[in-house]
Amino acid sequence: METIIWATDGSSGAEEALPAACELADLSGGQIVAVHISNRFDGRASASLEDDVVALIEHQVDDLRERGYFANLVVRRSHQDAAETTAVVAAELHAHVIVCGTRGRSPAASALLGSFTQRLLHVAPCPVFAVPPTAVHAVAR
């Protein structure tokens, strides 16, 4: 696997999927590309929150580099569905796998709009490795 996408929205669910992306990179020698889709265009407060999320992810990518991973960040601003846009980025980068959590920032939005991970499973150009929160706790035991 040369390119491993870690799909992140800055949530704890996305963060819990990061060890799986690291493990795949360890096994394959591949690079990790953190992909964040920003679709918040609704005002100053939202923009400030989005800036905080991007800063958090930049810090996580810097930490990956310090730990010896070849890691980059792609932030894409889009009015399109986040899963659809992630799939487009994956195709552009010729990704071998997309790693994501199963819980994101907004459970209410997920209930109304559908799950990012569920949609990604339908539109991704490569395999999707969906990491439930329980998987992290099971490994830690």
Report how far Cα 52 is from the mean position of its chain's Cα atoms: 16
| CATH number of the domain residue 131 falls in | 3.40.50.620
Using the predicted structure, report yes or no on whether residue 1 has a pLDDT greater than 70.
no
Using the predicted structure, report yes or no on whether residue 24 has a pLDDT greater than 80.
yes
pLDDT in tens, 123-136: 999 999 999 876 55
Note down the domain range covering 10. 3-140
At 46 the pLDDT is 63
Instruction: Give how many domains the chain has, as a whole number.
Output: 1
**Which DSSP string corresponds to 68-97?**
T--EEEEEEE-SS-HHHHHHHHHHHTT-SE
pLDDT in tens, 83-114: 999 999 999 999 999 999 987 555 544 443 34
At 109 the pLDDT is 47
What sign has the CA pseudo-torsion 73, 78, 83, 85?
Answer: negative
